Amino acid sequence: MTADPYATAAGLVARSAAAYAASIPEDPADEGFFGPGSVTWRLSTDLSSPVAGLRALLMQALHPLAMAGVDQHSDWRRDPAGRLAATSAYLATISFAERAAAERAAARVRRIHQRVTGVDSVTGRRYDASDPALLLWVHATLVDAGIVTAGLFGTPLSAPDGDRYVAEMVSAAELVGIPRRLVPASRAELTTYLASVQPELRGTPAARESMDYLLDPPGLDADLAEIWQDVRDAALGALPPWAREMYGYPAPPPLTDSRRAGIRQALGVLDTVFLGEPGVLEARQRIALRARAARRT
């Protein structure tokens, strides 16, 4: 028997929750880059957000250079839960923390990116994690995933709110070092941009390996695995068919009303588990109180 090449996913929920809770400020000096009335806040607390995260990763990994950077530099195999927790903390920080804290977190990420350079073994091309083109792909897929999955499994955004969200998130792109002029600022621009990158995408072995892991993480307890199966189906169902085909994943069951309800149930259970972790309820209450105070003024 060979040793399991990966660390188990045990602790994934607990560590993501801890990172999340620690990233929601107690008493912020300002409302950060988005603020209580923003669509960004609304989507960050939407039931669909775990699916959005998974769908974004599935899209991001299809870019061979983005994937190569992760594959050759990240410690995700050794500590997958830690890697996801760090991402979750970063997103919570730029969404909810005061501006100075968001800028500090972004500066740290930019510093790490400077060391992430190399040659992709599949395409033979050089990559550089600070390359705005790569960063933009990661950014745009995240924004796209939020809109798509909220529409399928959460509270759908109206067309104007979708445009607002894309525009709001330009600030997030700038934080990681993408010049504002390069960043889509409306849904139409986002769609055009995503289509323009599509020819460069492919399901490399590294992409498949990492996503296979993510879709079926070893070490998940049986019950969480049941829930994860629905989250995974939801993410696969939210992918464009061409993207799913690049991985060679079979199409998930058709999204009937009852299937959609089932996925929402799974997300509700997952959210309840998350809520059961120390500090998460209080973090959410901090967000809710700020949102409420803003609504009143």
Partner 1 sequence: MRKVLAAVTFGAVIAAVALLYRRLARGGAPRLRLARGRAAVQLAVRGGVRYATNAPRLFAAAGEHRQQLRNDLALETAEDVASTLGAMKGVLMKIGQMASYVDDGLSPAVRRTLSRLQDSVPPMSAELAGQVVETELGRPPEAAFRRWDPEPIAAASIGQVHRAITHDGRAVAVKVQYPGIAEMITADLQNVALLRRMLRITAPSQDVDALLAELRDRVVEELDYQQEAANQSLWAEHYQGHPFIHIPGIVTELSTRRVVTSELADGARFAELASWSQRERDLAAETIYRFTFRSLYEAHAFNGDPHPGNYLFHGGGRVTFLDFGLVKYFTMAELRPLIDMVRHLCVDNDPAGFRASMVAAGFLRADAPVSTDTVVEHMAVFYDTVRRRGPRTITGDYASAVVRRFFDVRSPLAQYVAVPRSYVILQRINLGLFAVLGELTATADWRAIAEEIWPFIQGPPATPMGAAEAVWRASRPGRPGIERLPA
Positions touching partner 1 (CB under 8 A) are: 8, 10-14, 47, 155, 219-224, 226-227, 230, 258-259, 261-262, 264-273, 275-277, 280-281, 284-285, 288-289, 292
Provide, rounded to whole angstroms, the least separation between the CB of residue 264 and partner 1. Answer: 5
Q: Measured from the CB of residue 11, what is the shortest distance to partner 1 in angstroms?
A: 7
Contact 144, 58 (CB under 8 A): no
Structure tokens at 207: 């992409």
CB 214 within 8 A of CB 33: no
Residue 139 vs residues 53, 102, 253: alpha-carbon distances, Å: 12, 16, 29
Residue nearer to partner 1 on the CB measure, 164 or 259: 259
Q: From the CB of 277, what's the least distance to partner 1, in Å?
A: 7
Phi, psi of 161 (to 5 degrees): -65, -35
| Residue 116 backbone dihedrals phi, psi, to 5 degrees | -90, 90
Residue 31: CB minimum distance to partner 1, A: 19
Q: Which residues contact 179 (CB under 8 A, 6 or more apart)?
A: 132
Which are the contacts of 289, defined by CB distance < 8 A and separation ≥ 6?
none
Of 197 and 273, nearer to partner 1 (C-beta) is 273
Smaller CB distance to partner 1: residue 4 or 115? 4
Closest to partner 1 by CB, 75 or 282: 282
Tokens representing 225 are: 């695995």
Please report how close the Cβ of residue 173 comes to partner 1 at its closest, in angstroms: 28
> Please, which residue, 205 or 253, has the CB nearer to partner 1?
253
